[in-house]
């Protein structure tokens, strides 16, 4: 401010001096006054020129160098440059935070869409693009209701009640690979909306499996209980001779054994799902497992024949004895389930062959082959589901619980093994467990 005043006085002094020198002697005072006025006008022009230079600098937006370095305009230029630099830095920081925020939304496992007041898409992440089949180049600024044509979603948006979500089908949903989405709108700001989508396909499948499991368990237990209660009522209300009484008691024992087998299998599945993976330090001879399974298979075959003799040709082929690491009880359960299933479903006089062989890649293969009726190809992918049966009435007659192959699959997975099922209708079935080389060692 002092420099500005000093400059103004200098211009006036120069003007007064010039007027004094130029004007005649008798009108020197008028010349001085004229010079002062002229100096003031010259200073105004000078100051206005500096102001115009600063305006031009501001319009250009080049903050690298200020046009004026002295005077009040120089100070104003310097302060403006500092303010612009601070604002630029703040803008960059805000932009960086925005990008970090968008990157976090991009990494979200849920779909995120930002909608304007008219319901047009302003931004979405890759998960949302996958859920709704969106394309960033094509669908930005498009109305979401025009792109998601699910009737449930259209009714949800039109209802304006966003306190709950709505379940719709995903764009990539198909009969073989369904996709179900949970979608909810969250209003914010000036009539804008945040839409969140979540893939609930697995949750719905798990819930359906839970309902089916409860229904199947209830049905499997209710059937023998109904039979038992009927027999008990008969024994209590009717006079029976010893032969009839013995027959009823035998049937009751069969139903009680069936319920016991079901409970044992359920407990086994529960233990398999809730216990830690088997240790690699416990080893079992395959020959020992084969001896136990051989006795059980022949006993089961004999129990299926009223004569009490085995009605199947059961052969065990152990070309090379080895040690197998893992829990012996689980390994025995898996192997015996496969052998017992083959015995149950193979007609009398049929053959069941159990083998163990070392493969070229170092793995070992436990195989149970039978000459039973075989299984149609459409049933093979679902055989390891709990309570899934190809023929329900035939399975119950054979004494199966519908959980055996589910147990086999769990045991195989816990031991790093793979269950392979091959079957041809009319030619029999092959059930194999492929054990990794890391769980094998020579005797």
- Name the residue among 420, 407, 339 with its Cα closest to residue 372: 339
CA distance 316 to 322: 15
Give the E-state strand segments of 110-211 in sequence order.
111-115, 121-124, 166-169, 180-188, 192-199
User: What is the pLDDT, as a whole number, of residue 293?
Assistant: 93
- Do the bridges between strand 180-188 and strand 364-370 make them parallel or antiparallel, or are there none, so unpaired? unpaired
Does 324 share its domain with 410? yes
Does 185 share its domain with 243? no
User: Reduced to 3 states, what is the DSSP secondary structure of residue 172?
Assistant: coil
Least confident of 200-204, 256-260, 389-393: 389-393
User: Reduced to 3 states, what is the DSSP secondary structure of residue 279?
Assistant: coil
- Give the structural domain span for 64: 2-101
CATH code (residue 164)? 3.30.450.20
The pTM of the whole model exceeds 0.75: no
Asked whether the beta carbons of 310 and 298 are under 8 A apart, the reply is yes
| pLDDT tens digit sequence for 224-249 | 888 888 888 888 888 878 888 888 88
| pLDDT tens digit sequence for 80-90 | 777 877 888 88
Does 162 share its domain with 45? no
Stronger pLDDT, 361 or 23, i.e. the higher one: 361
Does 178 share its domain with 214? no
Does 256 share its domain with 329? no
Q: Where do we find the tokens 């069941």? A: 352
Domains in the chain, number = 4
CA distance 20 to 35: 8
| pLDDT tens digit sequence for 148-170 | 988 999 999 888 889 899 999 98
Does 374 share its domain with 401? yes
User: Reduced to 3 states, what is the DSSP secondary structure of residue 324?
Assistant: strand
Considering the chain, what percentage of its residues have pLDDT values greater than 70? 88
| pLDDT tens digit sequence for 33-69 | 777 777 778 777 777 777 777 777 667 766 666 666 6
- The end-to-end CA distance of the chain, in Å, is 102
Residue 121 clears pLDDT 70, i.e. is over it: yes
Sheet containing strand 428-435, edge to edge, reads 313-318, 351-358, 364-370, 428-435, 418-424
Residue 137 clears pLDDT 80, i.e. is over it: yes
Does 286 share its domain with 270? no
């Amino acid at each position: 401010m002092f420099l500005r005043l000093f400059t103004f006085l200098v211009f006036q002094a120069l003007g007064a001096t010039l007027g004094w020198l130029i004007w005649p002697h008798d009108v020197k005072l008028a010349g001085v006054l004229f010079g002062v006025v002229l100096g003031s006008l010259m200073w105004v022009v000078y100051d206005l020129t500096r102001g115009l230079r600063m305006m031009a600098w501001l319009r250009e937006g080049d903050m690298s160098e200020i046009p004026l370095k002295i005077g009040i305009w120089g100070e104003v230029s310097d302060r403006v440059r500092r303010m612009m630099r601070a604002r630029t830095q703040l803008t960059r920081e805000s932009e960086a935070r925005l990008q970090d925020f968008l990157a976090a939304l991009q990494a979200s496992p849920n779909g995120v869409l930002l909608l304007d007041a008219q319901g047009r898409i302003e931004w979405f992440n890759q998960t949302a693009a996958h859920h709704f089949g969106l394309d960033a180049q094509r669908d930005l600024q498009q109305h979401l209701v025009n792109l998601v044509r699910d009737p449930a979603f259209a009714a949800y948006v039109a209802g304006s009640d966003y306190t709950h979500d709505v379940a719709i089908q995903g764009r990539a949903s198909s009969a073989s690979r369904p996709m179900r989405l949970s979608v909810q709108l969250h209003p914010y700001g000036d009539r804008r909306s945040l839409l969140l989508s979540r893939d609930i396909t697995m949750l719905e499948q798990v819930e359906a499996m839970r309902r089916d499991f409860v229904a199947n368990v209830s049905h499997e237990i209710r059937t023998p209980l109904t039979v038992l209660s009927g027999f008990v009522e008969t024994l209590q209300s009717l006079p029976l001779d010893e032969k009839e009484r013995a027959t009823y008691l035998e049937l009751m024992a069969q139903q009680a054994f069936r319920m016991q087998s079901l409970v044992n299998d359920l407990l086994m599945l529960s233990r398999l799902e809730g216990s830690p993976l088997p240790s690699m330090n416990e080893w079992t001879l395959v020959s020992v497992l084969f001896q136990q399974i051989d006795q059980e298979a022949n006993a089961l075959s004999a129990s299926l024949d009223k004569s009490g003799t085995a009605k199947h040709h059961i052969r065990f082929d152990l070309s090379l004895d080895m040690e197998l690491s893992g829990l012996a009880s689980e390994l025995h359960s898996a192997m015996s389930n496969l052998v017992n299933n083959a015995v149950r479903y193979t007609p009398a006089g049929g053959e069941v062959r159990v083998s163990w062989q070392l493969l070229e890649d170092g793995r070992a293969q436990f195989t149970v082959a039978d000459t039973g009726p075989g299984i149609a190809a459409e049933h093979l992918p679902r055989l390891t589901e709990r309570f899934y049966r190809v023929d329900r009435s035939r399975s119950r007659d054979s004494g199966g619980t519908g959980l055996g192959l589910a147990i086999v699959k769990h045991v195989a997975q816990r031991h790093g093994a793979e269950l392979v099922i091959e079957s041809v209708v009319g030619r029999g079935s092959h059930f194999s467990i492929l054990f990794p080389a890391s769980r094998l060692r020579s005797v």
